[in-house]
């Protein structure tokens, strides 16, 4: 079953030219998709379009077969605001920076949206939050505040907060870019465990070894288009396109 379907996606900004050029892509249930490519290739813009943070110039977008936007006369036309709010419940998003509420405890960061958006009883929300903190190895941090946590711990709380909303698909936008190398490993370990559990995920990342080891499929983007895609062993072991070869050669030399 397709969790996410994007067809003919284009995005341009006035005075800046095209950022995305006619991209079509699906993500299947249980699939871990990694998007790699150089800075400015359109990776994060594609993710922002998929998560309704940025409107497409043209194209169609749907979750679980339910449309969020359709292409009409060369432009993307979105469904109403009420329907978009419903569709947003289908996905979770983990940003580069953690976006935790600094005045909330760790546990309240996990329970607030559950009670307000999902309408869960406070006790049920807290039970869900505590279970996720245990999964993240943060059982002892429930009453702590974000400023008392390391960057890696804050990012794990952000992942737990996204999972608390029971999304059908989880997006990661460079989840380790704000972390030093010592803290990166603990976050990647959590994402790896989610992949093993067959959580549907789209991961924009610059961690090539991680993408190779965790993803079911790799997309390589450059200049707003998908240059090449395939299984990790094909992309990293035998890339077909010259541009992919050039990019990965720089990675191997770094």
Closest CA to 206 of 188, 183, 229: 188
Question: Model pTM?
Answer: 0.93
Angle, vertex CA 218, rays to CA 221 and CA 9, nearest 5: 45
User: Tell me: the pLDDT tens digits for 214-253?
Assistant: 999 999 999 999 999 999 999 999 999 999 999 998 776 5
Structure-token match 């299984």, residue found: 231
Closest CA to 254 of 199, 207, 203: 207
pLDDT band at 136 (very low <50, low <70, confident <90, very high): very high
Calpha distance 45→51 (Å, rounded): 10
Q: What is the DSSP string of 104-151?
A: S-HHHHHHHHHHHTS---HHHHHHHHHHHHHHTT-GGGTT--GGGS-H
User: Tell me: the pLDDT tens digits for 137-176?
Assistant: 999 999 999 999 999 999 999 999 999 999 999 999 998 8
Greater confidence (185 vs 124) lies with: 124
Mean of pLDDT values over 93-101: 88
pLDDT band at 254 (very low <50, low <70, confident <90, very high): low
Calpha distance 15→100 (Å, rounded): 34
User: What's residue 81's pLDDT?
Assistant: 94
User: What's residue 35's pLDDT?
Assistant: 97
Contact between 232 and 218 (Cβ < 8 Å)? yes
What would the two tokens of residue 226 be?
């998908």
Phi, psi of 230, rounded to the nearest 5 degrees: 170, -175
Query: Beta strand 66-72 with 75-78: parallel, antiparallel or unpaired?
Result: antiparallel
User: What's residue 137's pLDDT?
Assistant: 94
What would the two tokens of residue 54 be?
């940025």
Mean of pLDDT values over 202-214: 92
Calpha distance 212→38 (Å, rounded): 16
């Amino acid at each position: 079953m397709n969790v996410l379907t994007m067809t003919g996606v284009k995005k341009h900004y006035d005075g800046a030219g095209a950022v995305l050029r006619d991209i079509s892509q699906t993500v299947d249930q249980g699939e871990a998709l990694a998007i790699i490519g150089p800075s400015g290739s359109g990776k994060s813009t594609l993710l922002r379009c998929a998560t309704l943070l940025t409107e497409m110039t043209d194209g169609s977008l749907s979750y679980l077969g339910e449309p969020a936007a359709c292409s009409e006369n060369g432009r993307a036309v979105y469904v109403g605001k009420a329907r978009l709010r419903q569709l947003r419940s289908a996905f979770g998003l983990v940003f580069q920076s953690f976006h935790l509420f600094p005045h909330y405890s760790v546990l309240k960061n996990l329970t607030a949206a559950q009670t307000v958006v999902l309408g869960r009883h406070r006790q049920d929300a807290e039970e869900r939050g505590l279970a996720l903190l245990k999964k993240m190895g943060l059982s002892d941090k429930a009453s702590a505040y974000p400023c008392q946590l390391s960057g890696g711990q804050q990012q794990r709380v952000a992942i737990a907060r996204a999972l608390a909303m029971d999304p059908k698909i989880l997006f990661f936008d460079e989840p380790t870019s704000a972390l030093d190398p010592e803290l990166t490993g603990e976050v990647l370990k959590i994402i790896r465990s989610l992949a093993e559990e067959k959580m549907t995920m789209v991961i924009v990342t610059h961690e090539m070894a991680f993408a190779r080891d965790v993803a079911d499929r790799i997309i390589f983007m450059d200049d707003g288009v998908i240059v090449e895609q395939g299984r990790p062993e094909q992309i990293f072991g035998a890339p077909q396109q010259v541009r992919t070869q050039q990019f990965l050669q720089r990675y191997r030399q770094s």
